[in-house]
Structure 1
Amino acid sequence: MNSPHSTGSGGGVFRQPKAVWAVAFACVVSFMGIGLVDPILPALSDQLHASPSNVELLFTSYLVVTAVAMLVTGWVSSRIGGKKTLIAGLILIVLFSAMAGSSDTIAQIIGFRAGWGLGNALFIATSLAVIVGAASGGFAGAIILYETALGVGIALGPLVGGLLGGISWRGPFFGVTALMAISLTATIVFLDKTPASPRRIGLTEPLRALRHRGLATVSAVAFFYNWAFFTVLAYSPFPMNLGIHELGFVFAAWGLLVAVFAVLVAPRLQARFGTARTQYANFLLMALDLLVIAVWTDHKPVLIVAVIVAGAFIGLSNTLMTQAVMQVSPVDRSVASAAYGFVRFIGGGLAPFAAGKLAAHFDDHAPFYVGAVALLAAIAVLASGHKLIGAADRQMQGGHGGDAEPAELERDEETGDLIAASLGE
């Protein structure tokens, strides 16, 4: 059995063709966009005279549009090919990030962030499939590389946002514009033309795919987990009451833990304890961390440390959830990614808006209590699919699941089809 870090092709996970590195670099910049605005949220609220709940719409518009647009990414990429879809997404990100930086009102920025989300959906849904197809090292190596890009992007986003935001709140937006323009050029030059899919994906396929138990279970878990994730990311800058640079350093440390635990720790824990068991412990510890944040929201040192520590739990979940959805999926990976992305980004998009409203109606503690409850809900949903996820783990590791596995799969025809389909891809 190969280890989580084995490549199967001899070159190592990080010895890749130029095309893979071009897409991976674009992934880094794309994921930078998630946390880039974090350090400037309080500044935007002050300088543009917007309430915290209105500023939170920068996340909501971006993520909800990303979620809905996920439903059409397979339809687009199966007709024009992966490279053209990536380029279209990158062009949209370049245009809308530049327009966001040129805006004068919070409403304009919110609108342009929505357009940015459309480009982000086209890029994110396609980039994973392109990396999986072009990377050396097989599926596990591609996931590690993708999660490395995600972790580096999330870590650098707040740091770059803090540094550029210290000059002007417009700086982070124009920074993304410049970096994405470089990514666009590298993708055009280094990525070979990808043919259109032999099968055209229908518009309703991602939604219909959610009828399958495994995909629906993992997606629902991701909904609740992302609610907690984006509550921490989007709302905690307000009670911290720090300057732009200080916020940038806090969330850079947070993002560093996201990257380390996503790339180095998650594969080892998954191999030793399995996806479900690792996630039970991870979600429970993260819920306790959010309770600490909720209780001591007014105590700045405790709040800062607890927010940074949350990065470790988020990094673990990012890798484990991405791998799980690809393994238990009964459909093409592009369709599974779109369906999963739709559900999880809906959770991530609604959480910041709800956090702002909860804080306005109650206090700054309330959003984090709700985030902790969301993680307990994630544990309950995950437990309902424990056997299915365990069977997928055993199949991924070479089918060493024992004699009980075939009987278990026979008792659930849909589950059997699901595992067989994921193996056959």
Structure 2
Amino acid sequence: MSGGGGTGGFAWRPLIAVSFGWFMVIVDATIVNVALPRLGREFGASVSGLQWVVDGYTVVFAGLLLSAGWLGDRFGGRRVFQAGLALFVLASAACGFATGLDALVGARVVQGVGAALLVPSSLALLQGSYGDRRSRARAIGVWAMVGGFASGAGPLLGGLLTAGLGWRWIFFVNVPVGAAGMLLTARWVRVGATGRTGGRFDVPGQVSGAVALLSLTAAMVRAGRAGWGDPLVVGGFALFAAATAVFAVTETRVRAPMLPPSLFRSRELTVATAVGGLMNLGFYGQLFVLTLYFQQVRGYTPLQTGLALLPQTGVIAFGSWLGGRVTARGGPRLPMVAGMAAGAAGFLALTIATRSIPYVALVVPMMATGFGISFTMPAATAAVVEGAPPGRTGIAAGTLNAARQVGGAVGIALLGAFVAGGASHFTAGLRTAMLVAAAAYALGALLALLVPRGVRGGAEERDMAGARR
């Protein structure tokens, strides 16, 4: 089924409507980074405290993605998408009016809830709106390009808004964008009004999964200021291990698991999910570190920092577009391998960053890292959507995005811990952080070699079902 408004046989309207909410969610993962030093001065926050402005959003986002994917499959993707969009807009306004760090982090947590509701449903709506594989691949490619552009535009937009209107406007800007997305979705998206019947909400799975994620990230954030041997850090890791074990046992025993183990019978889906986590761990962790590097070590303003990051963020839209084209023609294997390898090389080259090194020496390494994540993203997304069983697109999309958001949260906490020791140790910590990011991407490239060439699995079943109808 497709929406209207097509040209040349392709229906653009559903894609445009869904992209508004998707753009907003991805922008908010990066737009706040350049404002962190100013937030720290205004609220008197430490680096570890500032990490929660970012992690408060990404942790909750990741922790609820699986449940949100299930909700979209159960109650209808359009309903859940619209509910998430409305909640995100309200939380964005609350962020803009925050009078202290605690209030800001709390509003960011609510933003994460809204983002979790709309992201899996956005992919499910695209899958339902584009019935044949070629149109679906094209839509996913554009969807990924929008996300790439949003990720690239985040730091620059954040710098412009922070310098021109103040940091609060990095949140207020979401209100008109989200309102437009809600209106267009109501008018242009015709699928997802109802969901499938049956299935209970997996409360034990959601609770144990959320506890595992929260404890892991909290332990890593605290390790940055208290050391890895701190009792609360050790206790956090122990709680993570226990909650993970409970989650694994629960999902194999309950009648309607939040994360069905059978979902991972698809090799494409399994590998793409792992690659998604490693991809975000390296990229968003290094973006957090580089933002602090440009402002704290090189003395750049927020606007100058946004401009300095342009070689990395500016290439993302092009890489996403190219990755979508290559994936549509030959499958996800090649772009996943090539993208992760390019990113690994870029991170290794960024270990040369010091206070005195000429900025121009960092341009090509930053371009390589930006191209790496953007070239990989459409391929990983297509592998998950096409590998998902019929009727399970929402939970499959939730799984990928949960892995990505977990990776991003862990990356910010882990790589941020390396530079939390003060300006005198920042360069050494940056070097270690970039080596960790490079290792994550190298591992992702190796895993991507396990993906078979071409596309198979759930996509074939959907296309055959469509042909029978």
- TM-score range for the pair, normalised by the shorter chain length: 0.7 to 0.9
Question: Could you say which residue in structure 2 is the equivalent of 1:138?
Answer: 135
The 5 Å alignment of 1:22-421 reads 22-135=17-130, 138-166=135-163, 167-192=165-190, 194-200=192-198, 202=200, 203=202, 204-212=257-265, 214=267, 215-241=269-295, 242-263=300-321, 265-270=322-327, 274-298=331-355, 299=357, 301=359, 302-330=361-389, 332-361=392-421, 363-383=429-449, 385-386=450-451, 389-390=452-453, 393=454, 395=456, 421=461
Range 110-119 or range 28-37, more displaced: 28-37
CA distance in 1 between partners of 2:365 and 2:419 (Å): 19
Shift of 1:89: 0.4
CA distance in 2 between partners of 1:271 and 1:18 (Å): 21
Gaps in structure 2 of 5+ consecutive residues:
203-256, 422-427
For 1:381, give the aligned amino acid.
L
CA distance in 2 between partners of 1:394 and 1:79 (Å): 27
Q: 1:50-98: per-residue Cα shift (whole Å, max 9, x none)?
A: 2223212222221221111111113322343222111110111111111
8 Å contact 2:156–2:306 — kept in the other structure?
Answer: yes
CA distance in 1 between partners of 2:90 and 2:380 (Å): 31
CA distance in 2 between partners of 1:288 and 1:355 (Å): 18
8 Å contact 1:220–1:378 — kept in the other structure?
Answer: yes
3-state SS in 1 of match to 2:194: coil
CA distance in 2 between partners of 1:124 and 1:79 (Å): 15
Question: Could you say which residue in structure 1 is the equivalent of 2:212?
Answer: none
Structure-2 change in CA distance of 1:18 and 1:422 (3 Å): closer
RMSD: 2.7
8 Å contact 2:339–2:374 — kept in the other structure?
Answer: no
Shift of 1:193: 6.7
Question: Could you say which residue in structure 2 is the equivalent of 1:5?
Answer: none
Structure-2 change in CA distance of 1:219 and 1:18 (3 Å): closer
For 2:168, give the aligned amino acid.
R
3-state SS in 2 of match to 1:292: helix
Structure-2 change in CA distance of 1:300 and 1:176 (3 Å): farther
Q: 1:244-284: per-residue Cα shift (whole Å, max 9, x none)?
A: 11222334553331111111x21444467653343333222
Q: 1:152-203: per-residue Cα shift (whole Å, max 9, x none)?
A: 3223322321211112111101111232123223333443473312344554
8 Å contact 1:240–1:304 — kept in the other structure?
Answer: no
The TM-score normalised by the length of structure 2 is 0.75
Gaps in structure 1 of 5+ consecutive residues:
1-8, 396-416
Question: Could you say which residue in structure 2 is the equivalent of 1:11?
Answer: 7
Shift of 1:287: 1.0
8 Å contact 1:83–1:194 — kept in the other structure?
Answer: yes
For 1:93, give the aligned amino acid.
F
8 Å contact 2:27–2:154 — kept in the other structure?
Answer: yes
Structure-2 change in CA distance of 1:135 and 1:250 (3 Å): farther
